[in-house]
A = this chain, B = another copy of it.
Amino acid sequence: MENFRAVLRARELKMSKVREVVASCALRQVGHFSVEDLVRALQAEGVQEAHMATVYRAMPLLVEAGLVQATLISAGDSQHYEVVFEREHHDHLVCTSCGRVVEYRSEALLALQREIAARYEFELEERVSELHGKCKECRRAKERRVARS
């Protein structure tokens, strides 16, 4: 939350009651969530003063503050986010059949990506690293289908 205030200050923006409650609610989200999810969560907490537009306006600030991160995994079209502040770094494996998401940690991968960024003299800020494929169960299901036909 301090990071958030710092970003606001740096951008000469103000901290408001609404921004505060949006930020704190976002931080309490588990897993991936969309702007709509967040609005629903806020309403569930009895916060009526959280309009879609306001949350849309707040998200980039939360990202900049390093509290949340945009993810690719999206149910449908909408952008999803996940909390990254004080969470362990991880990446995702996504099943292209059933949509199951497996999180994994790989220090080696992270190290390698850092090395690559350094090699090209980039200051690494964000990594998008997702592997898509068929999970074991879906592969089995497919084999059964083939065998039957």
A residues neighboring B (CB under 8 Å): 72, 93, 95-96, 102, 104, 106, 108-109, 112-113, 116-117, 119-136, 139
Contact = CB atoms under 8 A, between A and B. Distances in A.
Contacts of A135: 120-122
A119 B105 CA distance: 12
Given A116-B93, A128-B129, A122 B106 contact: no
A120 B134 CA distance: 10
A70 to B, nearest CB: 10
A96 B112 contact: no
Q: State the copy count for this chain.
A: 2
A60 to B, nearest CB: 12
Contacts of A133: 117, 122-126
Given A109-B112, A109-B113, A112-B108, A124 B120 contact: no
B131 A130 contact: no
30 contacts: A72-B72, A93-B117, A93-B120, A93-B122, A96-B125, A104-B116, A104-B119, A104-B120, A108-B112, A109-B109, A109-B112, A109-B113, A109-B116, A113-B131, A116-B131, A117-B131, A120-B135, A122-B133, A122-B134, A122-B136, A123-B133, A123-B134, A124-B131, A124-B132, A125-B132, A126-B133, A127-B130, A128-B128, A128-B132, A129-B130
